[in-house]
Amino acid sequence: MMISLGRTVAALSLALFLFSGHSWSIAAEGAITAPPISSIEQALGQVASEDESVRSAAIRLLIEQGDVSLVPRLEEMRANASRSIRQAIKPLMDLLKNRAKLASPDSDVRRSAATDLGSSGNPSVIPWLDAARVNESNKWVRYTMEESVTLLKLASDDPSIIAAAAEKLGELGSQNGVPVLKQLVAAGAVAEATEQQKTVAMAAAAAIVRIESWGAWSNAIETLFRGISLSSILLIMSLGLAIVFGLMGVINMAHGELMMVGAYATFVTQQFFTAWFPSDMFDWYFPVALPVAFLAAAGSGFLLEATVIRFLYGRPLETMLATWGVSLVLMQAARVYFGDLTAVVAPGPLRGGMQVLVGVYLPYNRIFIIALSIICVLGIYFALFKSNLGLRVRAVTQNRNMSACLGIPTRKVDSYTFAFGSGLAGIAGWALTMVGNVDPGLGQNYIVDAFMVVVTGGVGKLAGTIVASLGIGGLNKLIEPSFGAVYGKVFILVMVILFLQWRPSGLFAMKGRNAD
């Protein structure tokens, strides 16, 4: 919303001066034929002149030669100037400020300054941008500078320059350029349009097509990324759930609240760091919180298994209800103890994001979750297939009675596995603090989706859970744009039910006799 509003404003201001023929400023080339250079001091004195032509000349000169050191003095002049003069000085100040920002050490600041200059509609700043671009190290800041320069060139009087700029914008895939390009196309379409305008319009139309086709691509890539990111959230949440479901045939309805335990463990660790460690150590709270969250949730899970689930073996529906009861208690306990809403501040390296392509911006926290889900899958794979406990877990999953006969302590396997699955919930909670608030309802947000992942994936195979998370997460993001979030969910439910028509016990089902 905000961005598009900004774009419109920029486009409007640009259009205004394009079509009114106002000579408030001249194209960059015009600088050569400018009146003889008077000193900056003189210009400063004329800036407040009541005579408009004098004033504009002064402003022009200041833009060409001034720098940010003039701002305090301009500020001073504004304070006791008339309204029209204030209005005249303001853009000048903004331009000078942004020029200073172009040298900022923060690439985001540089970039937004470049964007602002691009939308100022004042071609005389083009040299600033060109100069800054030469020394710019960040690819995307360079991109923005070039985009701004090109945008400003659209204000040129020379049709060939405009056409070249339009083409360049198309090459850059610049979404910011679209409104102005549309203006150019419109100008070329009217009956009294000159030949030159028509040529420009053609170039602009071609550029629009190019930009839009790239826009569709970048949208698709972002959608894909969002889908994968949601999928990995679901996957991280479902892994522990699925392992326990495979082993014991129970869905732990308190899984979401074990995630909540992990999230609060992270929160508490953060508070601890704020209270006891120097602030430059703050970022370390996050890695430290990982084992804390894992152990807190695993411990809670262990207790839950020992006090409730153990007594309900072989009654999966009762287990669901009892664990739901536990989830209510945990949720309310968190609400009473922590209050309703707390937030974990992301550690420095996870803030912000990176741009990979034009119009494709990937936040670090999402990338982190995707990476984490891959690590979890690999970790679980090794735990299940390379460790002693894993071997036992797989044995019990396949045939509990046989395993018991072979002397595998199935009770202990249950207990440890449940604790492990709960620990995974803790890790999920730890990770979720990066994408949302920590509140008592945290576990509820995606948990029903996670349950669906588990039943769709079926039991006993990690691959089922992975495929199901990718399917449900991906589908969710894929159809959200066209159906909206609500009917997207309806659609997913329908899809899952239809899928279960085909595979009633999920993607990977226990076959044959063990299934009943």
Partner 1 sequence: MSDGTADKNRSGGMAFWAVGAILLVVMPLLNILPPEDSWFHLSDFSLNRFGKFLAFGILALGLDLIWGYTGILSLGQGVFFGLGAYCMGMHLMLTIGKESVYGTEMPDFMVWNQVKELPLFWKPFYSFPVAVIGSILVPMAFALVFGFFAFRSRIKGVYFAIITQALALVAWLVFNRNDTNLGGTNGLTDFKQVIGYRLSEPSTQLVLYIITVLCLGASYLFCQWIIRSRAGRVLVAVRDSEKRVVFSGYTPANYKLFVFVVAAALAGLAGMLYAPQVGIITPAQIGVLPSLEMVIWVAVGGRASLAGAVLGAVSVNYGRSVLTNYFPELWPFILGGLFVLVVLLFPDGLIGMMRKAKSLLSRSKPDGGKPVVPAEKAAVLEGKR
Ligand X SMILES: Nc1ncnc2c1ncn2[C@@H]1O[C@H](COP(=O)(O)OP(=O)(O)O)[C@@H](O)[C@H]1O
CB of 89 to partner 1, least distance (A): 44
Based on CB atoms, which residue is closest to partner 1, 149 or 442? Answer: 442
Residue 221 interacting with partner 1 (CB under 8 A): no
Helical residues (DSSP H) of 249-315, grouped into ranges: 255-276, 285-307
Of 96, 93, 38, whose CA–CA distance to 67 is shortest?
96
Region 486-515 residues binding ligand X, contact defined as CB under 6 A? 511-513
Beta bridge partners of 342: 438
Residue from 85, 202, 320, 367 touching partner 1 (CB under 8 A): that is 320
CB of 456 to partner 1, least distance (A): 9
CB of 407 to ligand X, least distance (A): 21
**Count, residues near partner 1 per rule CB under 8 A:** 46
Neighbours of 192 (CB within 10 A): 5
In the list partner 1, ligand X, none, the entry touching 325 (Cβ below 5 to 8 angstroms by class) is partner 1
Stretch that binds partner 1, among 156-164, 212-220, 331-339, 416-424 (CB under 8 A): 331-339
Please tell me the distance from the alpha carbon of residue 241 to that of residue 246, in angstroms, as a whole number.
9
Based on CB atoms, which residue is closest to partner 1, 147 or 439? Answer: 439
Residue 496 interacting with partner 1 (CB under 8 A): yes
CB of 399 to ligand X, least distance (A): 10
Residue 516 interacting with ligand X (CB under 6 A): no
CB of 496 to partner 1, least distance (A): 7
What 139-147 contacts at long range (C-beta under 8 Å, 24+ apart), as own/partner pairs, is 140/107, 140/111, 140/355, 141/107, 141/110, 141/111, 141/114, 143/172, 143/358, 144/111, 144/114, 144/115, 144/118, 145/114, 146/172, 147/114, 147/118, 147/172, 147/174, 147/176, 147/177
Region 253-312 residues binding partner 1, contact defined as CB under 8 A? 308, 311-312
Nearest residue relative to ligand X (C-beta): 512
CB of 334 to partner 1, least distance (A): 11
Of 155, 151, 158, whose CA–CA distance to 119 is shortest?
151
CB of 345 to ligand X, least distance (A): 52
CB of 51 to partner 1, least distance (A): 53
What 359-368 contacts at long range (C-beta under 8 Å, 24+ apart), as own/partner pairs, is 359/173, 359/175, 359/214, 359/215, 359/218, 359/219, 359/222, 360/218, 360/221, 360/222, 360/225, 361/222, 362/225, 365/434, 365/435, 366/225, 366/226, 366/229, 366/435, 368/431, 368/434
Beta bridge partners of 353: 363
CB of 322 to partner 1, least distance (A): 4
Distances (CA, A) of 148 to 19, 142, 176, 200: 20, 10, 9, 19
Looking at residue 219, its amino acid is N
**Stretch (H or E) spanning 432:** helix 410-432
CA 172 and chain centroid, separation: 22
Based on CB atoms, which residue is closest to partner 1, 132 or 242? Answer: 242
In the list ligand X, partner 1, none, the entry touching 516 (Cβ below 5 to 8 angstroms by class) is partner 1
Based on CB atoms, which residue is closest to ligand X, 82 or 505? Answer: 505
Please tell me the distance from the alpha carbon of residue 284 to that of residue 272, in angstroms, as a whole number.
11
Neighbours of 117 (CB within 10 A): 27
Based on CB atoms, which residue is closest to partner 1, 11 or 454? Answer: 454
Based on CB atoms, which residue is closest to ligand X, 103 or 515? Answer: 515
Residue 234 interacting with partner 1 (CB under 8 A): no
Rg, C-alpha atoms of the chain: 31
Region 454-473 residues binding partner 1, contact defined as CB under 8 A? 454-455
Residue 326 interacting with partner 1 (CB under 8 A): yes
In the list partner 1, ligand X, none, the entry touching 112 (Cβ below 5 to 8 angstroms by class) is none
> What are the residues binding partner 1 (CB under 8 A)?
245, 249-251, 308, 311-312, 316-318, 320-322, 324-329, 331-333, 335-336, 444, 448, 451-452, 454-455, 485-487, 489-490, 493, 496-498, 500-502, 504-506, 516
Residues near ligand X, by CB under 6 A:
511-513
